[in-house]
Amino acid sequence: MTKPLLDVRDLAVAFDTDGGAVHAVNGVSYTLHEGETLGIVGESGSGKSVHVLAMLGLIPRPPGRITGGQVLFEGRDPLALKERELRKLRGGAIGVVFQAPLSAPNPGMTVAAQIIGSWNTKPIAPPRIFRSSRSFRARRSRPSNRTCPPVIR
């Protein structure tokens, strides 16, 4: 059998409050191999987002903390990495799509159309050397009437 891409064993996460520790995640375990897809579903407040945030070192500390378990991504513990290495991992090898009603994907559109559409509506700053140029300011001030380009299939 091949080595798992992601191996989560008995992950537990708690948040310290004035009334004591609140256990948000208790004993989550699963293994994911390359090429497999995992969807995490559950009731509101069941710890879906908290367990993923904890695995990536994104829960606020304090009050949040991992109280038990182990996470291995490609055989390495992401939480044992230095912050710089962890940031590369988060933006490179690991990506997360969180459930957020106002920013959730539209099931009536292709993923490509939604990604391209977001590029058209959110300006990306050019390199600093070009920001002061007259042509950049002129182009930037023109209204855009572009719509989302057709999806190539």
pLDDT digits (tens, 9 = 90+) for 118-150: 555 545 555 454 444 454 444 444 455 545 444
pTM over cut 0.85: no
Nearest Cα to Cα of residue 70 among 59, 83, 80, 82? 80
How does pLDDT run across 54-104, given as a tens digit for each residue? Answer: 888 888 888 889 999 999 999 899 888 888 888 888 877 877 766 665 666
Distance CA 47, CA 43 (A): 9
